[in-house]
Amino acid sequence: MKKYLRIAVVLISVATMISGFVQMIFPDFILGIIGGETIESNSHSFSIVGMFMLIFGSLLLHNTYSIKESPVTIFWCAIQKLGAAVAVSVGIYKGLFIMLAGAVAGFDLFSGILFLIYLKQVKKNA
């Protein structure tokens, strides 16, 4: 089970890194996909969020390939994903994003829960 869980964590980390990088470099493109308004302040804020996605995805990937995995790192990466799910959901509720953004929120929610399961597995094997 841990092998498949680890593969999922690695894939989600890489996806987070790639999507964060794209969001950081091309925020208007991503905002357009999820129905966000592409004004300069939104684009700048979205770029910053993308940078943090890139950082957190990289952090968890690095942690996964470390000699000894850090449960603290896994925990905070899970919190980041759960927080992102809430933030996107609130954005949908407020009418800032279209319902398609719900797929992003759902993926982040799934990822955060999966990371917490992975955390439990890592602690059990420590």
With cut-offs at 50, 70 and 90, classify the pLDDT of residue 125: confident
Q: How do residues 110-124 score in pLDDT, each as one tens digit?
A: 999 999 999 999 998
Q: How do residues 90-100 score in pLDDT, each as one tens digit?
A: 999 999 999 99
Residue 111: other Cβ atoms inside 10 A: 25
Structural tokens at position 124 = 């059990």
Provide CB contacts within 8 A for 20, sequence distance 6+: 49, 50, 51, 52, 53, 54, 55, 56, 57
Give the pLDDT of residue 3. Answer: 84
Q: List the one residue out of 114, 111, 116 whose CA is nearest residue 86.
A: 111
Average pLDDT for 2-8: 91
Which residue ranges make up each domain of the chain?
2-125
Residue 88 three-state SS? helix
